C-alpha cells in the first residue's frame, strides 16, 4: 500500500514508472539499493531504486545500477537526488565492492545529465531508441575505487542498440 504514496513523485514526464510487481521485486531482492526520502509531513519526496549486477560479455563488470531516481517537483534543487545517489554509490562500493555505478538517462534530459556529470559520471555510450524506440539514452558511468585504472568508464566509440546490452 505504501507504493501508492509515491504518486506525487511519479507524476512527471521524465520519470519512468513501473507496475507494482516491478517495485516489489526490487524491494524484495535488493532492499539495500532502495531508499525513500520523506518530507517533514511524512509525504514521500523522492526515491531511488537500484540493484547490483554484472554483464556476461564484460569482464570486471560487477556494478551498482540506478534503475530509477526521482524527486517530487516541490523538492527539486535541494540536493535530494544527489543524496539518494550517494546512498546507492555507498552501497555499491562498501557493501558489494562494485567496479562502477551506471544509469540510463534520456538524451533530452539535460538537467539530469548535468547533475550526473557534476557527481562524477561520464557518458559511456549512447543507446539508440532505448526509450520505447522513440528516444535515445546515454549510459552514464562512475568508476568506484575497485576500478583502479578506470577501465569501466572508457567511452565506446559508436552508439549501440538496446539488443546489444546484456
What is the model's pLDDT at position 1?
A: 47
Tell me, what DSSP letter sits at residue 156?
P
For residue 118, pLDDT over 90 is answered with: yes
At 27, give phi and psi (nearest 5°): -65, -35
For residue 130, pLDDT over 50 is answered with: yes
User: Structure pTM?
Assistant: 0.88
What is the model's pLDDT at position 44?
A: 86
What is the model's pLDDT at position 12?
A: 60
- For the chain, the first-to-last Cα distance in angstroms comes to 33
Measuring CA to CA, which residue among 67, 64, 82 is closest to residue 26?
67
For residue 6, pLDDT over 90 is answered with: no
Contact predicate 23/3, CB 8 Å: yes
Q: What is the pLDDT of residues 49-90, one digit of tens each?
A: 999 999 887 888 999 999 999 988 888 888 999 999 999 999
- Given pLDDT bands bounded at 50, 70 and 90, which one contains residue 145? very high
The full length of the chain comes to 166
Share of the chain above pLDDT 70, in %: 89
Q: Mean pLDDT for the chain?
A: 89
42-76 burial by CB neighbour count: b if 16+ within 10 A, else e? Answer: eebbbbbbbbbeeeeeeeebbbbbbbbbbbbeebe
Backbone CA torsion sign across 106, 88, 41, 17: positive
Amino acid at each position: 500500500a505504501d507504493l501508492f504514496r509515491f504518486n506525487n513523485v511519479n507524476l512527471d514526464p521524465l520519470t519512468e514508472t513501473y507496475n507494482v510487481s516491478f517495485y516489489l521485486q526490487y524491494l524484495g531482492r535488493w532492499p539495500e539499493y532502495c531508499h525513500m526520502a520523506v518530507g517533514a509531513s511524512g509525504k514521500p519526496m523522492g526515491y531511488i531504486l537500484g540493484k547490483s549486477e554484472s554483464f556476461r560479455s564484460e569482464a570486471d563488470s560487477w556494478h551498482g545500477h540506478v534503475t530509477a531516481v526521482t524527486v517530487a517537483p516541490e523538492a527539486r534543487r535541494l540536493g535530494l537526488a544527489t543524496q539518494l545517489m550517494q546512498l546507492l554509490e555507498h552501497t555499491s562500493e562498501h557493501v558489494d565492492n562494485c567496479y562502477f555505478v551506471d544509469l540510463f538517462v534520456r538524451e533530452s534530459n539535460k538537467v539530469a545529465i548535468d547533475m550526473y556529470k557534476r557527481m562524477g559520471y561520464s557518458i559511456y555510450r549512447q543507446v539508440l531508441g532505448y526509450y520505447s524506440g522513440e528516444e535515445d539514452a546515454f549510459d552514464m558511468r562512475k568508476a568506484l575505487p575497485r576500478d583502479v585504472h578506470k577501465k569501466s568508464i572508457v567511452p565506446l566509440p559508436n552508439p549501440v542498440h538496446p539488443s546489444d546490452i546484456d
